[in-house]
Structure 1
Amino acid sequence: MRIAVVTDSAAGFAPEWSAAGGLADGVRVVAMPVLVGHDILTGEHDDVTAPLMVALAAGADVRTSRPSPGQFDRVYRSLAEEGYDGVVSVHLSGQLSGTVEAARMASSRSVLPIEVIDTRTAGMAQGRAALSALAAVQRGGDLQTAAAAAAMAARASALYFYVPSLEQLRRGGRIPAAAGWLGTLLSVRVILHVQGGRLVPLERLRSAPKALQRLEEVVLADAAARVGAVDLTVHHFGNEAEAVALAGRIEAAGGGRVTTAPCPSVLAAHAGLGVVAVTVSPSVRS
Structure 2
Amino acid sequence: MSRHVAIVTDSTAYLPPRTMQRHGITAVPLTVVLGDQALLEGTEISTRSLAQALQKRRPVTTSRPSPQVFAEHYRKVAESGATGIVSLHLSAELSGTYDAAVLAAREAPVQVRVVDTGMVAMALGFSALAAAETAEAGGTVDEAVAA
Q: TM-score range by the shorter chain?
A: 0.7 to 0.9
Residue 129 of structure 1: CA displacement? 0.8
Q: Which residue number in structure 2 is paired with residue 53 of structure 1? A: 52
Residue 138 of structure 1: CA displacement? 1.5
Alignment CA distance shift 1:111-1:46 (3 Å): closer
Supply the AA of the counterpart residue of 1:70. Answer: Q
Supply the AA of the counterpart residue of 1:36. Answer: L
Residue 44 of structure 1: CA displacement? 2.2
- Count of matched residue pairs: 144
Contact 2:4-2:83 within 8 A present in 1 as well: yes
Contact 1:36-1:55 within 8 A present in 2 as well: no
Residue 124 of structure 1: CA displacement? 1.1
CA distance in 1, matches of 2:62, 2:85: 26
CA distance in 2, matches of 1:25, 1:119: 19
Q: Which residue number in structure 1 is paired with residue 29 of structure 2? A: 31
Residue 26 of structure 1: CA displacement? 3.0
CA distance in 2, matches of 1:78, 1:109: 13
SS at match of 2:73: helix
After TM superposition, the score normalised by the length of structure 1 is 0.47
Tell me whether 1:68 sits opposite 2:66 in the alignment: yes
Contact 1:3-1:26 within 8 A present in 2 as well: no
SS at match of 2:87: strand
After TM superposition, the score normalised by the length of structure 2 is 0.87
Give the alignment of 1:111-122 within 5 angstroms. 111-122=109-120
SS at match of 1:24: helix
Alignment CA distance shift 1:70-1:148 (3 Å): same
Alignment CA distance shift 1:133-1:98 (3 Å): same
**Structure ranking higher on relative contact order (CA contacts 8 Å, 6+ apart):** 2
Q: Which ranges of structure 1 fall in alignment gaps of 5 or more residues?
A: 150-286
Q: Which residue number in structure 1 is paired with residue 90 of structure 2? A: 92
CA distance in 1, matches of 2:85, 2:50: 34
Residue 10 of structure 1: CA displacement? 0.9
Q: Deviations over 1:85-110 (max 9, x none)?
A: 01000000001111011100000111
Q: Deviations over 1:37-88 (max 9, x none)?
A: 220121328943336624751x443211111111101100101111210100
> RMSD in angstroms over aligned alpha carbons?
2.1
Q: Which residue number in structure 2 is paired with residue 124 of structure 1? A: 122
SS at match of 1:117: strand
Tell me whether 1:81 sits opposite 2:83 in the alignment: no
Identity fraction in percent = 35
SS at match of 1:121: coil
Contact 2:83-2:111 within 8 A present in 1 as well: yes
Q: Which residue number in structure 1 is paired with residue 107 of structure 2? A: 109
Task: Report runs of 4+ in structure 1 exceeding 4 Å deviation.
Answer: none
Alignment CA distance shift 1:126-1:68 (3 Å): same
Which protein shows a greater Rg?
1
SS at match of 2:41: coil
Tell me whether 1:6 sits opposite 2:8 in the alignment: yes
Supply the AA of the counterpart residue of 1:82. Answer: S
Q: Which ranges of structure 2 fall in alignment gaps of 5 or more residues?
A: none
Supply the AA of the counterpart residue of 1:53. Answer: Q
Contact 2:91-2:116 within 8 A present in 1 as well: yes
